[in-house]
């Protein structure tokens, strides 16, 4: 996997207002560049559904990012609306990513079952919701990393079928 474009949408009221450093975004940017991303766009939005929708729409449909990872806003509290915003934007679900992250994360902490994260395809972009903590982002990225290149190649029309 080389020279794909990526974007990170950090969903955080405190991050948006400057009250908290974007540790998850910083970590994900480094991991994406190490994985071969040619560019990584970064956006921080508050936990507001419409602003998340607008950021995802712009990154996928206008800027054409190959991969968009959101971080934050996937829990149970009322302001956690990242999954709903993502479902509003994507054209098709690709649930295996979110399912794998939940399954493997359950081996680390039972709290992983509290995640409502989703994943899917918007235009030609893969969108995956990650948790908000840097530790959970690192673990989540390690889980999806082995299939990410193939997924992005398929979406770009360069990959072959999975059949053997």
Q: In what order do the strands lie in the sheet with 92-93?
A: 37-45, 4-11, 67-71, 125-130, 119-122, 92-93
Alpha-carbon distance 41 to 47, whole Å? 19
User: What average pLDDT does this structure show over 19-47?
Assistant: 97
User: What average pLDDT does this structure show over 33-55?
Assistant: 97
Supply the range of the domain harboring residue 15.
4-155
The reply to whether 160 falls in a domain is no
SS3 162: coil
The reply to whether 92 falls in a domain is yes
| pLDDT at 109 > cutoff 80 | yes
CATH of the domain at 79: 3.40.980.10
> Does the model's pTM come out above 0.75?
yes
The reply to whether 146 falls in a domain is yes
Domain count, the chain: 1
């Amino acid at each position: 996997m080389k020279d794909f474009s990526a974007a990170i949408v950090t969903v955080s009221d405190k991050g948006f207002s400057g009250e908290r450093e974007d540790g998850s975004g910083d970590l994900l940017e480094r991991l994406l560049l190490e994985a071969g991303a040619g560019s990584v766009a970064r956006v921080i939005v508050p936990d507001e559904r419409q602003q998340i929708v607008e950021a995802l729409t712009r990154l996928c449909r206008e800027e054409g990012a190959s991969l968009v990872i959101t971080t934050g806003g996937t829990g149970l509290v009322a302001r956690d609306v990242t999954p709903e915003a993502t479902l509003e934007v994507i054209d098709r679900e690709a649930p295996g990513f979110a399912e794998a992250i939940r399954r493997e994360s359950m081996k680390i902490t039972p709290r992983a079952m509290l995640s409502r994260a989703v994943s899917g395809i918007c235009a030609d972009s893969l969108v995956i919701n990650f948790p908000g903590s840097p530790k959970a982002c690192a673990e989540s990225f390690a889980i999806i990393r082995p299939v990410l290149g193939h997924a992005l190649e398929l979406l770009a029309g360069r990959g072959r079928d999975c059949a053997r």
